Amino acid sequence: MRLRLFAAALLVAAVPAIPAPAQEQAPPGWQVPRTAWGDPDLSGMWPLDYLAATPRVRPEHFGTRATLTDEEYEAAVKVARQQMELGDKQDKVGILGMGHWAERGLPLRQASLIVEPANGRYPALTEEGKRLAAAEKTSWNNDTFDWMDDFGIFDRCITRGMPSSMLPGAYNHGIEVRQAPGLVAIRLEMIHETRMVYLDGRPTPPPEVTDHLGFSRGHWEGDTLVIETTNFTPGVSTGPAPNSAEMSMTERLTPTGPNTIRYEAWIRDPVVLTEPYKLDFPWQRDDGYQFFEYACHEGNYSIRDYINATGSRFAARRAAAIAAAPAE
C-alpha cells in the first residue's frame, strides 16, 4: 500500500478547474525511441493510479455517449478531489480508513474504460456465463466462509486474472515494462506477477497448459506492440463472470508521445460472453513511481483466522460454548 496523499494534494492545487485529459501531444518530428536491438522502446513505469476515478463500466444513464460534458466532468473532478483529500480528513478525527488505503486520481474525459459495445458496458452473458456467475463465491457476494473455496482467487491473493491485472484497482497500481531481445516483461505491482510476452515466434502451448495470466505471444506492427494471449486457466473472475478456457485477448500498446501510450484490449470468451468487449485508455509514464511490497495476508494467517471467526465453524463453537455454560 502507498500513502501518496500529500503528493495528491499538491496535484489538486496545481490543476485547473477543468484539467486536460490524460493525453499527450507528440512534439513535431518526434519518433518512437528504439532499443539497442532495434525494437520500439516502451520500457518504463506506467502506473494506473490516475485512472482510478474513471469507471471501468459506463453508468447506464450515459447510454452510448462516450464522453462527459463540461458540467459532468467538473462534478466528477470535485468528487475525485474529495476522495483524494479523505486521508487528511480522517487523520484529523483519528480514523485509519480507506482514505489511507485507496490511491485516487482525477478522472478522464471518457465515461468508461470499456468503449465497445457502444454503451461502454459488459456484453450480456451466455447461459453458461450466467451459471458461472451465480456459482462464483468471493468476499463480495458471500458471507459464509467455511473453507478455501468460499473465497475468491483474488481474496486469496493468488491473482487478479485478466484483464483485471491490466486495470486500476484500489491501490498498488504499478505497471512496469522491461524489454530484452525477443521478450517484453510486464511487471504488476498488485500481487507481484509478471507477464512474459514472447516475440521469438515460439508456438502456443497445448490447451491443457494454462496460466492465470494466460500465455502471451507478441509481434510489432510498426511502432505498436500487439499481444495475443490464450491458454487461460478457467474460473478466474474477469468482471461479469469467471472466464472459460476459451477466453482470449488481443492488446495493442501504441506510443503516442514521449510519455504516453495508448492501451487497447479486446476480450473474447464465447463460452461466457455473447460478444467481445474492448478497453481503450491512455497510459502515462511516471518513472519516479516505485513498487511497494504487496503483503496481502501477513504471515498467511488471515484466511485461516477468517474461517475460524465466521461461518458454520464459528457458529458451532459458539453453540457448544453456550450449551456448556452453567445455568444461572
Spatial contact of 199 and 215, defined as CB atoms under 8 Å apart? no
Higher pLDDT, 137 or 317: 137
pLDDT, tens digit, 9 for 90 and up, residues 73-101: 999 999 989 888 888 888 888 887 777 77
- 44-70: per-residue pLDDT in tens? 999 998 898 999 999 999 999 999 999
> What backbone torsions phi and psi does residue 20 show, to the nearest 5 degrees?
-70, 150
pLDDT higher than threshold 60 for residue 10: no
| Confidence class for position 21, pLDDT limits 50, 70, 90 | very low
Q: Percent helix, strand, coil in the chain (nearest 5)?
A: 25, 20, 50
Which residues are CB-contacts of 91 (< 8 A; sequence separation ≥ 6)?
none
For the segment 129-159, what is each residue's pLDDT rounded down to a tens digit?
A: 999 999 988 877 877 778 778 888 888 888 8
Q: Over 80: is that where the pLDDT of 20 sits?
A: no
Secondary structure string (H, E, C) spanning 277-317: EEEEEEEECCCCCCCCCCCCCHHHCHHHHHHHHCHHHHHHH
Query: What is the rounded distance in angstroms from the CA atom of residue 230 to the CA atom of residue 204?
Result: 8
pLDDT one-digit tens code per residue, 229-285: 999 999 987 789 999 999 999 999 999 999 999 999 999 999 999 999 999 999 999
Report the alpha-carbon distance of residue 117 to residue 126 in Å, rounded: 16
Q: How far apart are CA 153 and CA 163, in angstroms?
A: 14
Cα–Cα dist 238/165, whole Å? 9
Report the C-alpha gap between 48 and 165 in whole angstroms: 11
**C-alpha cell belonging to residue 173:** 497500481
- Ramachandran region of residue 227, left (φ > 0), alpha (ψ -120 to 50) or beta? beta
Backbone dihedral region of 31: left (phi > 0), alpha (psi from -120 to 50 degrees) or beta? beta
Q: Tell me the helices (H) and strands (E) count for the chain, helix number first.
A: 7, 10
Within its chain, how far is the Cα of 271 from the centroid?
22
Question: Strand 224-230 and strand 248-257: pairing?
Answer: antiparallel
Confirm whether pTM is higher than 0.95. Answer: no
Question: In this predicted structure, what is the pLDDT of residue 305?
Answer: 76
Q: What is the DSSP string of 157-215?
A: TS---TTGGGS--SS---EEEEEETTEEEEEESGGG-EEEEE-S-PPPPPTT--BTT-E
Give the closest residue to 126 by CA, choosing from 279, 236, 209, 247: 247
pLDDT confidence tier of residue 121, bands split at 50, 70 and 90: very high
